[in-house]
Structure 1
Amino acid sequence: MTLSTPMMVTFCIYILGMVLIGFIAYRSTKNFDDYILGGRSLGSVVTALSAGASDMSGWLLMGLPGAIFLSGISESWIAIGLTLGAYLNWKIVAGRLRVQTEHHDNALTLPDFFSSRFEDSSKMLRVISALVILVFFTIYCASGVVAGARLFESTFGMSYETALWAGAAATIIYTFVGGFLAVSWTDTVQAGLMIFALILTPVMVIVAVGGLGDAMQVIAVKSTQNMDMLKNLNFVAIVSLLGWGLGYFGQPHILARFMAADSHRSIRTARRIGMIWMILCLMGAVAVGFFGIAYFENHPEHAGEVSKNGERIFIELTRILFNPWIAGILLSAILAAVMSTLSCQLLVCSSALTEDLYKNFLRKGASQRELVWVGRFMVLLVAAIAILLAANPENRVLGLVSYAWAGFGAAFGPVVLLSLIWQRMTRNGALAGMIIGAATVLIWKQYGWLDLYEIIPGFLFASIGIVLFSLVDKAPSAAAQQRFAAAEAEYQAD
């Protein structure tokens, strides 16, 4: 039996399991509300784990461990920023968004919520926000397809073209068939697989090096700077890394999980579960990269692949340290991270096309069955475009992914946050914040002023724009203020 055979078997079992969940979810999908938000029926555990899995893409098992391996523990500032941002998102946004969307015409999408919250009869908010989602998420989807293809290519020796379809097919199938419930249920399984891999792998690395003390000594001997949290970092660099946390307030695929919870009361429990999962996963990813330094320092004969590409450290440690059957399960965690994020992005794009454009501009009287099937075909459309973009992995458009997180965070983050806590906010304020935030990110990225991560000025200027434009605008209508107050009162009552 070759090394790849047990891996191939475990991968196939895993993929078939995900597709099976999709067909089970199909039976629970009766209308478009079910397809897009699962009928707002997610319990605390599924809400927490699906939000976490949809957030953490292949970066968690490849990008972060690779950065720590190459540069040392100083790269973990980004993990600290993400943890703080995720906690504030759960604490401030999650419960309020669940209640407010229900009070504002049972909004199913962010553009839907913005349009109802600010009584936007012109539909400008709906159109602009839907276009922002489509542009950034289609590119995000392409990056997910590339990540999946690279995993299959490196693990099984496939050609890139074959790996491209192999990596994307299963995700497309279960998202197409089962919609939001399939995505959320598979995310929950995938979250379990990810945390299992990220706890077990660093433990085995430490054991293989000879224990925690020996591992720390080897790392220190190689370079004490690997243990320095401030290595090559100034104040601006640290603020930039922490600033990644601001992105959480504007990520549509994460916010959709809050909107789909069965009640805002379940958010508190979900927050605890979600934060414990996230902290353990991030600590595990950091540990893989950090203690991997010691392992490959002791075993330079195995360091060939990671010397070429540090992001392969989790893959290489798994292949070296584990039985091929266990390695196959652990490597499935990378596929789980890729699939969980890609499926959410496909579904958010589908909902923007179907709910915010097709239903509102082309077929206002469309039946629920029609909308479900249009949503399914929109999944295929977005997936096809993403695969075309990913066909050439060197395509420069994929470079935009590096600031898509910042784009969403700055364009949507301040709008979402202030719309939930400030009753006086107006439609023009929301429109100004969205445009200013997105424009600042795009311009700042081009010029790189101060070496500051573009989400920070984008978020700041968008927030200022919202406040200024809202204050010079006439106050929201009495009906809008009453809806806001009623939703806030319901949220505060519990």
Structure 2
Amino acid sequence: MSIFIVVLAIYILITAFLGYLGYKHTKSSKDYMVAGGDIHPYVMGMAYGATFISTSAIVGFGGAAGFYGLSMLWLTFANIFVGIFLAFVVFGKKTRSLGQKLRAYTFPHLLGAHYQSTFIRKWSAALMSIVLPLYAAAVMIGGARFLEQTLQMNYNTALWVLSLIVLAYVFFGGLRGVVYTDAFQGTLMFVMTFLLICFTYMKLGGISVAHAKLNAMNSLVPAALAKQGMTGFASMPTFLSQNWWFVISTLVLGVGIGVLAQPQLIVRYMTVKSGKELNRALVFGGVFILFMTGVAFTVGALSNVYFHETSNTIAMTASAIGGTGPNTDKVIPMFLSQAFPAWLVYFFLLGLLAAAMSTLSGQLHIISTSISYDLLGKTSKDDSSKTLLLARAGLIVGFLATVVVANVLPGNIIAVATSIFFGLCAAAFLPIYAGALWWPRASKTGATWSMLVGTFIYSFMCLFVYAKESAIFGLANAVFGKNSIAGTGPLSYVDPLIVALPASIIVFIIVSLFSKPLTSAT
């Protein structure tokens, strides 16, 4: 423990120093919003990856792999193809070019300026300010759960310790402080996952032996999941079964597509000087995300082998011990704390803290700029001290909202809360974001209605139709006396994105074709 405290102190000092560097170089709103637009490709690529991959991915989705098996690796494919290749090559360069042309420093400002609509800018900023704390809370819970398990720390204390450290360097350093610390934390995360996969395979007898053991555990699939279509921990669920729809539509498509419309990631495209440097950043980010998600999901699934050999249970059963029921959020922390020596667990803890802090910093930064710059600001030319003051005040508001949400959310929530935010962003923003980049005929009216339809359909289905999510909020049960107004029909287990995104696209195209186009297409 004494060694860990020394290492933790060094880690915090490095983080504080990088936050201080960000503070020293943050002189204007452009510095605070997009880190001055001159960040090195390695720093940008690692910061993008570290913001994308958080404890939500490692603890939440890794824990989900403990329940649903290696079918989760389809999310790794989606993350690489959509979240890296399409995001950087197809969306990134056009976004950076449009952002420079419009002198837009935030995602809401980019949309509002292109469609010449103050309403679009303020609606998207308000939506970010209201919903992003849900995703940030999921990340915060993941880090706090691991602190709780590893250090036997009170959960609420762990939550405050983690969040206050992040608040400090985002408050002073803006996006410069965020990307500097993210690049450092991303490097630490990469080393942590490399050791994690190596030691996991060593613990379970090697690569082929470990996977053979997992493949032999099909008979141990819980009856409830088998009834929903799960066939084994190393195989895909039955096609179009309830389990298949949850894995593919919620966990894979919800996050895999939703990543394209993530404001905390989109703003990273604007932090480099040229498209060429964006290509260089793609390499670093791609390797990082491939390794991080592939390792997390593989280890999550293989944890079943460890729990079966040591306690004759599986991950789902082990995570329910001493709690109120099975909890995906506890699988990875329990596996790491039980399977490895203390010194190695402490190193993993630093990696997971880095994962939590890197993503939280980006999320809190977006909440800050959404409130101060897009809801209360006027133009991108405002470099006054008032802008930075409002940004830091907005950061405090977002921080407090996130801590409150983290305290009221139930267990088993990290993966679901993450997919809700990603899915809502895709339904509300992806069509009009893509339209801003490639469709000159798109209209202000079409964009407005598309954004509203996507927001309201996704929200309605999340609250009243999709049982897995509506049960969390309890509104459907309070009003109608059941978790889903769709009963046990397909809509009760098909993710809202499958309905909301096509509806948003159709409305965008039809209304744009029958309304006045933009006066000067950008």
User: Which moves more between the two structures, 184-193 or 284-293?
Assistant: 284-293
Indicate the structure with greater helix content: 1
Q: Deviation at 1:471?
A: 1.0
Aligned pairs (5 A) from 1:433-472? 433-445=450-462, 446-448=464-466, 449=491, 451-472=493-514
Q: Which residue of 1 aligns with 2:516?
A: 474
Q: Deviation at 1:209?
A: 2.1
1:35–1:178 contact (8 Å) kept in structure 2: yes
Q: Decide whether aligned partners of structure 1 residues 440 and 392 sit closer, same or farther in structure 2, where only a CA change above 3 A counts.
A: closer
2:147–2:158 contact (8 Å) kept in structure 1: yes
Deviations, residues 204-244 of structure 1 (Å, cap 9, x unaligned): 12112222232233223332753543234427626514422
User: Which moves more between the two structures, 415-424 or 322-331?
Assistant: 322-331
Pairing partner for 2:142 from 147, 162, 168: 147
| 2:213 is equivalent to residue 213 of structure 1 | no
Hey, what's the Cα distance between the residues in 2 that align with 1:310 and 1:130? 31
1:249–1:417 contact (8 Å) kept in structure 2: no
Would you say how many aligned residue pairs link Structure 1 and Structure 2? 472
Hey, what's the Cα distance between the residues in 1 that align with 2:184 and 2:318? 30
Pairing partner for 1:19 from 16, 25, 28: 16
Q: Deviation at 1:197?
A: 1.8
Pairing partner for 1:137 from 126, 132, 141: 132
Q: Deviation at 1:275?
A: 1.5
Deviations, residues 175-218 of structure 1 (Å, cap 9, x unaligned): 00111011111111121122222221121121122222322332
Q: Which residue of 2 aligns with 1:326?
A: 344
Amino acid at match of 1:282: T
Hey, what's the Cα distance between the residues in 2 that align with 1:404 and 1:19? 29
Pairing partner for 1:243 from 247, 253, 256: 253
Q: Which residue of 2 aligns with 1:287?
A: 298
Question: Structure 1: which 5+ runs fail to align?
Answer: 485-494
> What secondary structure does 1:425 align onto?
coil
Q: Deviation at 1:33?
A: 0.7
User: Which moves more between the two structures, 219-228 or 345-354?
Assistant: 219-228
Amino acid at match of 2:237: K
Q: Which residue of 2 aligns with 1:76?
A: 73
1:139–1:397 contact (8 Å) kept in structure 2: no
Aligned pairs (5 A) from 1:384-395? 384-394=400-410
Question: What is the root-mean-square deviation in Å for CA atoms of aligned residues?
Answer: 2.7
| 2:44 is equivalent to residue 52 of structure 1 | no
Hey, what's the Cα distance between the residues in 2 that align with 1:327 and 1:396? 22
1:202–1:291 contact (8 Å) kept in structure 2: no
Hey, what's the Cα distance between the residues in 2 that align with 1:47 and 1:74? 30
Hey, what's the Cα distance between the residues in 2 that align with 1:387 and 1:429? 36
| 2:91 is equivalent to residue 90 of structure 1 | no
Pairing partner for 1:112 from 109, 112, 121: 109
Q: Decide whether aligned partners of structure 1 residues 289 and 390 sit closer, same or farther in structure 2, where only a CA change above 3 A counts.
A: closer
User: Which moves more between the two structures, 351-360 or 21-30?
Assistant: 351-360
Question: Structure 2: which 5+ runs fail to align?
Answer: 220-230, 322-326, 467-490
Hey, what's the Cα distance between the residues in 2 that align with 1:401 and 1:282? 15
Pairing partner for 1:418 from 435, 440, 463: 435
1:42–1:261 contact (8 Å) kept in structure 2: yes
Q: Deviation at 1:374?
A: 2.0
1:65–1:285 contact (8 Å) kept in structure 2: yes
1:68–1:289 contact (8 Å) kept in structure 2: yes
Deviations, residues 29-86 of structure 1 (Å, cap 9, x unaligned): 1111101110111222122111111112212221222222233212333333333321
Deviations, residues 391-445 of structure 1 (Å, cap 9, x unaligned): 3444999986551221111111111112101111121111111111111211222
Hey, what's the Cα distance between the residues in 2 that align with 1:464 and 1:437? 10
Amino acid at match of 1:420: L
Q: Deviation at 1:150?
A: 2.5
User: Which moves more between the two structures, 55-64 or 341-350?
Assistant: 55-64
1:318–1:331 contact (8 Å) kept in structure 2: no
In the superposition, the TM-score normalised over structure 1's length comes to 0.88
Q: Which residue of 1 aligns with 2:198?
A: 203
Q: Decide whether aligned partners of structure 1 residues 318 and 243 sit closer, same or farther in structure 2, where only a CA change above 3 A counts.
A: closer
Q: Which residue of 2 aligns with 1:124?
A: 119
Q: Which residue of 1 aligns with 2:276?
A: 265
2:428–2:451 contact (8 Å) kept in structure 1: yes
Amino acid at match of 1:329: F
2:149–2:334 contact (8 Å) kept in structure 1: no
2:185–2:355 contact (8 Å) kept in structure 1: yes
1:246–1:455 contact (8 Å) kept in structure 2: no
Q: Deviation at 1:159?
A: 2.4
2:62–2:296 contact (8 Å) kept in structure 1: yes
